[in-house]
Structures are given as C-alpha cells and as structure tokens.
Structure 1
C-alpha cells in the first residue's frame, strides 16, 4: 500500500517538472523571437534599373575650347620670358622677347635706302616737271621727254621698293615680340630665357579661359550612330561629376587617325567648376534600338554605392527567404555615371539592398522600411 502511494507521488512530481520545463521553453522562444524582431536592421530595397536604350561608350579627354602654341618665325636667343605656367594672360600681352639686334640693323639700312631713294625721286620729279613744260613750249624734243619720264619712273620704283623692304623687316621684327592671341592661361613652358628659339618650335602653350570640351574618337563601325547635336552623358571620375554634354563636331575623315573618327562634345559653362584640362572622361552616347531588338538587350544597372568589394570579387546584398541579408556575388560591366551594369548574378526583377541603418553581413536579420 505504501509503495503504491510513493509511486503516485513520483508521477505527480515528474508531471509538474515537465509542465514547468515546457512553460520555460515557450517563454524563452517568445523572448528570442521578440529580441530578433527588435534587432532587425532596417534596410531600403530597390530593383535594378533597366533601359531599352543602348549606349555607345567612348573615352576622351577634357580640353579647352581654344588652344594656341606660341612660336616664332625667326631664329634667335630668347632674351625675356615674362610668364610661367599657371599665369593668366590677357589678349595682346607681351609674353616672349627674342634678340633682334641684327633685324634692327637691317631696318636701319632700309631707312638709309629710303632716304637715298627719296632724294633721287625728288630730283627726278623736278626734271620731269621741267621737261614736261619745255615740251609743251616745243623747247624739248619727245625723245628727251621720254628719257626724263623713264628716269622719273625708275626713281619712283626704287623708292617704293625701299619702303616695301622696310615693311618686310618690320614684319620680321614683330616676330621677336610674341604676344598673347587671346585671354587665357599658360599651361606649358617649353623653353627658358637664353634658349635658342627656332621657327615653328613651340615656346609656350596657352589655353583659352572659358568653356571646356571633350575630345574623343569613335570607331568606324559606330560613327553612323552618332549625330551632331545629340545629348550625351559625360562622366569625369577625377572630379566625381556626371555632366550632360552636346556633340558639336564630328570629323568626316579618319585618314590620319587610323580608322577612328574624332568628335567634340561641349560641356556647359555651368558645369566647368572642378574640371581641369587633360582629365579623362567617359562619354555615353545614347543609341536607340529597334523594337524587335530591344527585347533581351535591357541593361541591368545598379548604383555604384551598393557594390561590395572583397579581394577580386564584387557583390551586393539581397534579401533571403527568412528576411536575412544575403551577399550575392555579381559580375560587373561598364560604368555610366553613378550606375554600373550587372552582367550576371542579378536578374532584372530581383530586389537588392540600397542602404541600411546598420552594418550588413551574411545572415543578418533585416526589415524593409
């Protein structure tokens, strides 16, 4: 009898312990679920941008709207060089002076020849007027008048020749004082004072202040897709800028560019802040596709800020089945401004995380805002 009572009490005790254990587990599960929901990282998601408009990508360099190489037509030593790289210059400002003592001596000779020719011309003119009057009075023969007229014309021609010689020397003398053809900035100084200047050899390079343009080349199999006046997207990574430009010039010949056609893209003056001549730029030229070729050719574009880099791999975060962050490795293509093309690893209808309120990692619990 006592043994049966002990058995019943033992069963009751075990039942109570089991109930307490199940209640505690249930409570812990509820607390764990609540804690997991409370610590979820808030994220913003988006879908890739697709564009049925194909783009032609070419590379180029920013340059000034007008550039001039300052050189001379004479040979001589540079006696003065009044500017240095980076100096602003105004139109007509004296930049370089070249030694001109020999030219000044030639001009002095020309002045002496003019003085001599003027004296001979004045004497011949008086003789011509005198014999012309005598001929009218029939006191001189026609032969005498012809001889005097010939002497007069010869003296006049010698005077004209001497004056033209001085004009030539003055023109040559002007090449010893080189001035700025327009207002701008000195971007290169290729010689210093004391160097020998040679005809056609640049001494300075000046770029015009004002607008910028991008010079690029387009392959011959794509030039037919570029039209003058087309609006293009110019990406300058060095300045972290994306600019809307306009095609202003298309070279019609590739004879000296190896099958590449030169184009010029104008950059608006309002966008020139932060740009410097010589910076590299990528140009995206929109190319409309026909409707039958549009399907299947859509580009999958995502923001560059979403890309994660690890060694040689690139990826972005997507959302898994259990509302967890999943790092998806992708293969990237061309970059257009702040967007980059995803060649593989992400479908056009898949969502990806664009921003998060905390640090993301594989398996992190996330919650869409």
Structure 2
C-alpha cells in the first residue's frame, strides 16, 4: 500500500478549494436583463373600392400669355423682369419704330393729297351737275366728272386705311399686358431682334391655378365633367379638393394620353406655384373599372424602403415587431395600395416610440 505524503495532500486540497470557489461564483447564475418593450400604435388597413383613378399632373395657371410682337425690329426696352406683377394694359416691351413712323408720315401726306384732290373733284362734280341741269353740259362731260369725283373719293378712303394700318403697326411696337398677372419668364433682353411670333415674355394669371393631368385611354371613359377630384401636392404635404372642369377629347400627339383639367379651391391659390407636381385622384362616380374590388390602403409613413424593397412592421403572436415585405401599387394622396404581403384584417405599426427591429418586444399604446 502506497503512502501519500503531506505535500500531495496539500496540493489536492488547494485544487478542491479553488474548484469549489469557482463553482459558487455569484455572476454565473445571475438572470440576463430583458429588453424593454417599445410602445407602438397599431392600425388596420383602410379599404377602398376601386371607384377612382389616380394620375399625375402639374399645377398650371388657367390663363397663360406668350407675349410677342407682330412687327420686326430691335427691342428698345423691356420694362419688367421675371416675378414682377403687372396690370392689364401696362406697357411691357417697346420695339424700335422709326420705319413705322416714316410710313405714318407718308400716309398722312398721301391722305392730305387725296383730300385735296377729292375737294377739287367734288366742286367740279357739283358745277357740272348744275350745268347739266341747265342744259349747258353734255351727259358725257357729266359722266367724266362723276368718275373723277368717285375716284377721288375712293382715293381718300384708301389713304385713310393706309394711315390706320400705319397707326396699328405703330401700336404693335408698344406691347401691353393682356391681363393682370405675374411675369413668369423673361426670354429676351433689350437690343435683341424681335421677330413676329417670337416669345419675349410669359405672363401668368395670378390666383387662378389648376392641375393639368394626363389620363390613359383605358380610363378616360370613366371620367365625366364635374367629377370630384383630390390633388395631393407632395412638396407641400397637402391635399386640395376640386373637380374636373375640362376633358380634352383627343389624344393625338400625346401618346394616348388625354388632358384633363382639375380646378383648385381659392384657399389653395396662395400656397401653390405653377409647375408643382401633384398626384390626382379622380372619383369616377361608380363607373365600372377593369378591377372592381376593394383596395387595401396603408399610410405612406408606415412604409420602410429597404434597398429596392418595401416593408412595414407588424406585431407577431409573441408580441414582437415583425418586418413584413409588401408589394405596393397605386398611390392615393397620403396612402398607398398594398397588392400583397398584408391582409385587410391584419394590424401594422403606424408609429413607434423607439427604434424598431425584428424581434424587439412591442406594446400597444396611444401615441
């Protein structure tokens, strides 16, 4: 039988004590802290029957004037700049008019000469008429004088028309505003050569804007005059109501797109600018469409863009956030159609009080 020495016993005892102290570490069995649930607001999708059409459009003035001249000449002055307010009849542009003034002076001289010839012919006509009545002039002489008188009278009328034409041409050298509005664009400067039909300024009527939208040929038959419409202007994050005021009956030259004009309320005019883009939803008043079914709609604010995919958060059966990828369709104002990935009776997270990610506990609350 082997006898264990004292040193071996001491070493064995130290190992046992060390193992015992390690196994009784207080940190080993401490519970891990649980993640605090994120407060969220949960909603269900809204449903809408397919009785409307959504198209894109642009805010444009009802009345727009492209200011140009009818005469050729150098622009001597442009009295307004882009952004200036103008009143009806205000002089906007002046064109050089020296040649027209010369034509007007020539017309005046011709009118004076024609008037003198007319006065002389009139006296001869009256004289020969009296002589003919007194049997002192023949009928042939009276006929000759009558023809001279009528020719002189016609000469006066021709000279008057020439003078009126010169006056009209002179008036075209002072271009005035056709209506009160604002200068949208300035397309030329003083010293440039103005040609007939060449735009110099673009004037837009203020406070009278509308939305011009293009509707495809597959949907145009569903739209009627005075159909209710709503225009969502994303740059302002606002929606305005109106109605269809004009439907262009032809799509020639527009690639199968029909121009539809939608009025805007007066309270919207101050905040809108021509050229803003809008999404327009036109009510078809129950006219049937190619897809007569309910549409699942969710707010655009609930959609998360992840790369090239769209997703939103739902609540799992364990009470955690669950990222759900969805396929989107048409946009209706501040809402978007969900084609797949979310049922009409499923709830989704519209707002969260903290950061959301897959698996984080959530708690419904009124946010």
TM-score (normalised: structure 2)? 0.85
1:208 aligns with 2:231: no
Contact residue 53 and residue 289 of structure 1 kept, 8 A = no
**Aligned ranges for residues 26-65 of structure 1 at < 5 Å?**
39-65=36-62
**Aligned ranges for residues 1-369 of structure 1 at < 5 Å?**
39-287=36-284, 288=286, 294=292, 297-369=293-365
Deviation larger for 354-363 or 258-267: 354-363
Tell me the distance in 1 between the aligned counterparts of 2:166 and 2:253: 38
1:60-116 deviation per Cα after TM superposition (whole angstroms, max 9, x unaligned):
211101001111111111111111111111110101111110110011011001111
Distance 1:292 1:94, change over 3 A: closer
1:131-165 deviation per Cα after TM superposition (whole angstroms, max 9, x unaligned):
22222233322222222222111111111111111
Unpaired runs of 5+ residues, structure 1, are 1-27
1:172-230 deviation per Cα after TM superposition (whole angstroms, max 9, x unaligned):
11111110000111111111111111111111111111211111222222211111111
Distance 1:289 1:318, change over 3 A: farther
Distance 1:289 1:50, change over 3 A: farther
Q: How many residues align?
A: 336
For the aligned residues, what is the CA RMSD? 2.4
Tell me the distance in 2 between the aligned counterparts of 1:190 and 1:172: 23
Unpaired runs of 5+ residues, structure 2, are 1-29
TM-score (normalised: structure 1)? 0.85
Tell me the distance in 2 between the aligned counterparts of 1:307 and 1:252: 38
Tell me the distance in 2 between the aligned counterparts of 1:57 and 1:248: 17
Distance 1:144 1:93, change over 3 A: same
Greater share of helix:
1
Q: What's the secondary structure of 1:112's corresponding residue?
A: helix
